[in-house]
């Protein structure tokens, strides 16, 4: 029976707890959730377990680009054989409901939701040293639940909405149905509003980097409203844009720096400055040199014959970059040389990702890097404010925000750039200029696919993708892209549980 209820291991009534250092995980040998919560420290450990689950490559951690960047026109793979066959389906737009990587992603996201629900359902069972602590733990769990549902609803549309701990197989069965995406967004907004109005600090201290802050809650809620304005019923567009501006501005006004140009681009990704850099709003923390909790993004991205980003030798192509993105960088954009490089090995001649680096002796030849994974940073917030301003008809503000990001990249202002025939031909509208800036500023940070969904409806996105040159896209066939690809298919094992209530997305 339990095998059939694959809706995420929700029926597995166990908690994985963390030590006081929330990056480090200890297995309590599957303690039953109903018996686990006895002290405030138990709640803290359970919250830490929610954070820890984000790290997985099947979740939203640094190596989860298969579900975002490789779904877009930024990155991908040209090997469609052997073990690469199923991953290749993502970038080839030939993904099948039976794809095991897709199922693993679905399960990992719902595992995080399950852990968050365990905290929320049991948080009032214990006594707290201060009421503020209970409020903070609740805000963290609800933020993380909202974050994961935001991923789910953008990737699949209607999805099962579970907001309490499931204790029995009957509970799971009763929750195995797809809820309309509008209701999922309502829950995301409700959870994030609790976080915004909580006792969370505006920003976390260096020792608590990686935990949710009020700035992160405001930024994410602003992004949610922006996404609702551009992808849901347009009757609510104006109100959603107004709310997006309110919360993005709240996050923006919490910044602990004067101007973005004062923070060098390379510093944002410097492992030695990751706890002190004021641009990072929310990140997944790694522990340099640790075999389990280190970062592997630099080592994984390194191409054969290269030593720029990791001391770990590579035998493959590393983090492959599509020529379509390479050609989008403006010639004087300093972010290009920092983010990508051409590998000129005898067997690997291609562009690879260099944005995430750790060549320290601590990371060593094993590639146990110290890179934290940035989930939200201020350049993202600033460019979303530019986008919101554009949609609200506030073009001067839109350009002002856009120029903040361009100024740091040592590029001409938008007003000057649009007089350049090359720039104006590639980006003939302010909207496309903002989309371009997001692409090169946030490259490989898992934003591009979601930006495409927000900037274009399904039909527009098909036209946009099919306008690309196949020669700039690689082995994967951009011509395969169709309206069905706006969403992933529901994993087959989930669909077969109840083909009526777990109905398949169109085109699959």
248: closest CA among 379, 373, 146? 379
Are the beta carbons of 401 and 383 closer than 8 angstroms? yes
Mean pLDDT for back-to-back runs of 10 residues, the chain (508 residues):
38 38 45 82 97 97 97 88 79 96 98 98 96 97 98 98 95 95 98 98 96 98 98 96 98 98 98 96 97 97 97 95 97 98 96 98 98 98 98 98 98 98 98 98 98 97 96 94 97 97 98
Q: Do domains 1-200+458-508 and 213-275+376-455 have the same CATH topology?
A: yes
What is the distance between the alpha carbons of residues 60 and 429, in angstroms, rounded to a whole number? 32
Q: Which pLDDT value is given to residue 79?
A: 75
Q: Which pLDDT value is given to residue 80?
A: 66
440: closest CA among 295, 309, 338? 338
458: left (phi over 0), alpha (psi -120 to 50) or beta: alpha
Long-range Cβ contact pairs of 341-348 (< 8 A, separation 24 or more): 341/306, 341/308, 343/303, 343/304, 343/305, 343/306, 343/317, 343/318, 344/305, 345/303, 345/304, 345/305, 345/306, 346/305, 347/304, 348/303, 348/304, 348/305, 348/316, 348/317, 348/318
In order, the DSSP letters of 283-320 are EE---TT-TTTSB-HHHHHPPTT--SSBSS---S--SB
Q: Is 23 helix (H, G, I), strand (E, B) or coil?
A: coil
Q: Which pLDDT value is given to residue 78?
A: 83
What is the distance between the alpha carbons of residues 310 and 312, in angstroms, rounded to a whole number? 5
Q: Which pLDDT value is given to residue 18?
A: 40
CATH architecture for the domain at 1-200+458-508: Alpha Horseshoe (1.25)
HSE (side-chain half, CA atoms, 13 Å) at 335: 24
Q: Which pLDDT value is given to residue 1?
A: 29
> At residue 380, what are phi and psi to the nearest 5 degrees?
-65, -45
Are the beta carbons of 466 and 478 closer than 8 angstroms? yes
Residue 100 to residues 250, 445, 490, 501, Cα–Cα distance (Å): 40, 23, 12, 22
3-class SS letters over 131-168:
HHHHHHHHHHHHHHHHHHHHHHHHHHCCECCCCCCCCC
Which one-letter DSSP state was computed for residue 427?
-
pTM of the model: 0.94
Q: Which pLDDT value is given to residue 311?
A: 98
Are the beta carbons of 11 and 2 closer than 8 angstroms? yes
What is the distance between the alpha carbons of residues 279 and 267, in angstroms, rounded to a whole number? 9
Q: Which fold has domain 213-275+376-455?
A: 1.25.40
What is the distance between the alpha carbons of residues 383 and 398, in angstroms, rounded to a whole number? 8
Q: Which pLDDT value is given to residue 447?
A: 98
The residues spanned by each domain of the chain are 1-200+458-508, 213-275+376-455, 286-371
Residue 76 to residues 357, 444, 508, Cα–Cα distance (Å): 20, 11, 22
Q: Which pLDDT value is given to residue 9?
A: 43
Q: Which pLDDT value is given to residue 84?
A: 62
What is the distance between the alpha carbons of residues 283 and 48, in angstroms, rounded to a whole number? 14
29, two tokens: 């040998």
Q: Which pLDDT value is given to residue 3?
A: 33
């Amino acid at each position: 029976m339990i095998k059939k209820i694959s809706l995420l291991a929700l029926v597995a009534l166990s908690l994985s707890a963390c030590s006081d250092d929330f990056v480090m995980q200890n297995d309590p040998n599957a303690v039953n959730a109903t018996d686990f919560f006895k002290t405030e420290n138990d709640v803290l450990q359970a919250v830490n377990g929610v954070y820890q689950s984000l790290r997985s490559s099947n979740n939203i951690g640094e190596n989860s680009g298969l579900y975002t960047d490789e779904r877009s026109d930024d990155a991908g793979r040209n090997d469609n054989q052997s073990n690469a066959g199923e991953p290749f389906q993502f970038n080839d737009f030939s993904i099948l409901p039976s794809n095991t990587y897709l199922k693993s992603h679905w399960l990992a996201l719902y595992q995080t939701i399950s852990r968050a629900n365990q905290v929320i359902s049991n948080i009032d069972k214990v006594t707290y040293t201060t009421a503020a602590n209970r409020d903070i733990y609740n805000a963290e769990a609800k933020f993380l639940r909202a974050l994961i549902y935001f991923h789910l609803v953008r990737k699949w549309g209607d999805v099962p909405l579970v907001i309490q701990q499931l204790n029995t197989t009957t509970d799971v069965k009763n929750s195995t149905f797809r809820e309309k995406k509008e209701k999922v967004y309502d829950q995301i907004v409700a959870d994030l509003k609790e976080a915004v109005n909580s006792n969370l600090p505006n920003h976390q201290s260096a020792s608590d980097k990686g935990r949710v802050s009020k700035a992160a809650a405001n930024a994410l809620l602003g992004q949610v409203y922006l996404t609702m304005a551009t992808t849901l019923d347009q009757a609510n567009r104006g109100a959603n844009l107004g709310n997006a501006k309110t919360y993005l501005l709240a996050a923006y006004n919490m910044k602990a720096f004067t101007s973005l140009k004062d923070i060098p681009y390379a510093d944002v990704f410097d492992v030695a400055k990751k706890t002190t850099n004021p641009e990072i709003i929310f990140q997944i923390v790694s522990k340099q040199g640790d075999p389990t909790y280190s970062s592997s993004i630099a080592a994984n991205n390194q191409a054969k014959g290269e030593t720029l980003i990791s001391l770990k030798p590579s035998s493959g192509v590393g983090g492959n970059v599509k020529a379509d993105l390479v050609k989008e960088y403006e010639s004087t954009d300093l972010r290009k040389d920092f983010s990508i490089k051409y590998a000129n090995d005898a067997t690997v001649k291609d562009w690879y990702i260099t944005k995430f680096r750790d060549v320290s002796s601590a990371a060593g030849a094993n590639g146990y890097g110290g890179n934290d994974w940035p989930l939200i940073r201020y350049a993202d917030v600033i460019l979303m404010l530019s986008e919101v301003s554009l949609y609200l008809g506030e073009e001067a503000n839109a350009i002002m925000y856009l120029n903040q990001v361009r100024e740091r990249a040592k590029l001409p202002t938008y007003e000057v750039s649009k007089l350049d025939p090359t720039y104006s031909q590639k980006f003939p509208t302010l909207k496309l200029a903002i989309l371009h800036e997001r692409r090169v500023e946030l490259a490989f940070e898992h934003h591009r696919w979601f930006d495409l969904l927000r900037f274009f409806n399904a039909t527009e996105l098909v036209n946009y993708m099919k306008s690309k040159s196949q020669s700039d896209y690689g082995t994967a066939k951009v011509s395969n892209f169709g309206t069905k690809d706006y969403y992933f298919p529901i994993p087959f094992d989930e669909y077969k549980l109840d083909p009526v209530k777990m109905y398949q997305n169109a085109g699959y």
